[in-house]
Amino acid sequence: MLEISTILVAVMLCVALVLNLWRLIIGPHVVDRILALDTMYINSIALILLYGIFSKTPLYFEAALLIAMLGFVSSVAFGKYLLRGDIIE
């Protein structure tokens, strides 16, 4: 049962990633695109955790933590650049 539900949730996450990619392409403003990219980061963390459950190994948590940190830092850097015109003043 766990394998079936894991595959089902993986399909849901892939559909969510495709929807985010659609918003990333059509987004009318740059902030829309940054928001879509941030959501894609979070969904990919979920997908990596799900792969860790599927292959029965705890190896992938560090990768998920790294992706979470990089996603936050990159989103803040994009927003800071849009706000001030510069990242580190």
Partner 1 sequence: MTFMVELLISVLLLLGGIFVLVGSIGLLRLQDLYVRLHAPTKATTLGLGGILIGSMVYMYNTQGELSINELLITLFLVITAPVTAHILSKAAMHNRVKVMERTRNQHLIETARMQLPPKSEDEGSKGDIKP
Other CB atoms within 10 A of residue 52 CB: 16
Tell me how far, at minimum, the Cβ of 89 lies from partner 1, in Å. Answer: 15
Among 39, 47, 46, 25, which residue's Cα sits nearest to residue 72? 39
For partner 1, the binding residues in 12-71 under the rule CB under 8 A are 12-13, 15-17, 19-20, 22-23, 28-32, 34-36, 38-39, 42-43, 45-46, 49-50, 52-53, 56, 58, 61-62, 64-65, 68-69
Residues in the site for partner 1, rule: CB under 8 A?
1-2, 5-6, 8-9, 12-13, 15-17, 19-20, 22-23, 28-32, 34-36, 38-39, 42-43, 45-46, 49-50, 52-53, 56, 58, 61-62, 64-65, 68-69, 72, 75-76, 78-80, 82-83
